[in-house]
A and B are shown apart, each in its own frame.
Chain A
Amino acid sequence: MEPADLTPPDEPEFEDRLRAGLARPALADGGFTARVLRSLSPRAGVSHYRAWLRLSWAGAGTGFLLVVWACSAWLGREMAYPQGAWPVPDPLENAWLYLAFAAALVSCLIAWRATDPAPGD
């Protein structure tokens, strides 16, 4: 239940005086807006920026691990078949290698883009 309005209805004059007594002229901006916008500029969309940056590093890290894994797999096969008498190359394995390089490249591109100022700044 909504509480009763405790304001007596017969005091509009007193309330008018309160309004007049509390009234103040608007504060001049004095560069405040510019200050706020400056503080927003490098951090505009900061949450997105940080999210992209983290994602980029995660992507770069994943890409790097994939490259290491692919290289070690290749090295292992090289050691298993030192004379180059390899069996028929496994296309899936090669695809992983290409994917690893692509992931690393995309991560680098995203990281580079994320360090740019946010659009509109």
Chain B
Amino acid sequence: MTPTDSELIARALSESRAQAFGMLVERHQSAVRRFLRHLTRGDAALADDLAQETFIGAYRGLARFRADSRFETWLLGIAYNRFRSLRRQRKSEAPPSGPEAGEGSEPPAERLTDLQQDLASAMVRLSEHEQTALRLCFQFGLSHAEIATATGWPLGTVKTHIARGKGQLRELLSVWNPQT
């Protein structure tokens, strides 16, 4: 039977630390790396470095994890904070721009469908916060409250970003919804 996150966290805090934590990394690496690729606008190397820092930070702070949120939400929150710290350090440097935030340097093997390409093109027209909120909600399946926890934004701000982002996307992608 596959152990749950809580069981692995308990194990990682007790005897077989590295082994149990390795299973947690393996389980959540994709979401964390994907999210960071979005934040770094497709810079896979930078995203993986930040993801590595995220997991190291999580490992050191594992005892502080409270089960009042999902483990993945907690990890995404750490990842977001790491990214913000990095951006503060590099304030003077403009972030690299790509054809679509998070997808610019996807490997060629990852072909996008027409739907995904349309959405990718439309997403770049949104503000960074709107993109982040929409991705956390619709790509990573976080609730509004979880997004607020992960990003540190007030719940009302999260809802506003999502509503505005969706409104803009609805206009940009009106072909999806001819009646609007």
Interface residues of A (CB under 8 A from B): 2-7, 11, 13-15, 17-27, 29, 32-33, 35-37, 39-41, 43-47, 120-121
Contact = CB atoms under 8 A, between A and B. Distances in A.
Given A27-B34, A29-B29, A121-B18, A19 B138 contact: yes
B139 A24 contact: yes
Nearest to A40: B59
Contacts of B156: 3
A25 B33 CA distance: 12
16 contacts: A2-B155, A5-B144, A7-B163, A11-B170, A21-B115, A22-B134, A22-B135, A22-B138, A23-B116, A32-B52, A35-B52, A36-B22, A36-B29, A36-B56, A37-B18, A40-B18
Contacts of B60: 46-47
Interface of B: 15-19, 21-22, 25-26, 29-30, 33-34, 48, 51-52, 55-56, 59-60, 110, 115-116, 118-120, 134-135, 138-139, 144, 155-156, 159-160, 162-163, 166, 169-170, 176-177
B30 to A, nearest CB: 4
A40 B159 contact: no
Given A15-B138, A27-B34, A32-B51, A20 B115 contact: yes
